[in-house]
């Protein structure tokens, strides 16, 4: 697993990894947080899980598909009178 953190998904700034145990807060807990003050963070009990969760990104919908999403809104069921 790579340990490099992706940028913050909200503001695009650098993210940081901290062991909360080393801060005397929790024994075995890790946190990734945005260093730009947007207050986004995630906590997990393992370093591996916190990095994996932070780096997880949904696959974006291509712009063309987004523009057509409401072109044909679903209609009511035709088998109802």
What are the strands, taking DSSP E only, across the chain? 15-19, 30-34, 41-44
pLDDT of residue 79: 60
**Confidence tier at 52 by pLDDT (50, 70, 90):** very high
Output the pTM of the full model: 0.60
Give the tokens for residue 28.
């075995």
Q: Is the pLDDT of residue 54 over 60?
A: yes
pLDDT of residue 41: 85
pLDDT of residue 64: 64
Given the structure tokens 């913050």, which residue do they identify? 8
């Amino acid at each position: 697993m790579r340990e490099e953190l992706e940028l913050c998904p909200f503001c695009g700034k650098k993210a940081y990894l901290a062991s909360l145990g080393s801060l005397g807060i929790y024994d075995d807990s890790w946190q990734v947080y945005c260093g730009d003050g947007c207050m986004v963070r995630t906590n997990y009990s393992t370093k591996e899980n916190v990095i994996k969760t932070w780096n997880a990104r949904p696959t974006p919908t291509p712009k063309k598909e987004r523009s057509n999403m409401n072109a044909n809104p679903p209609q009511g069921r035709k088998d109802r009178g």
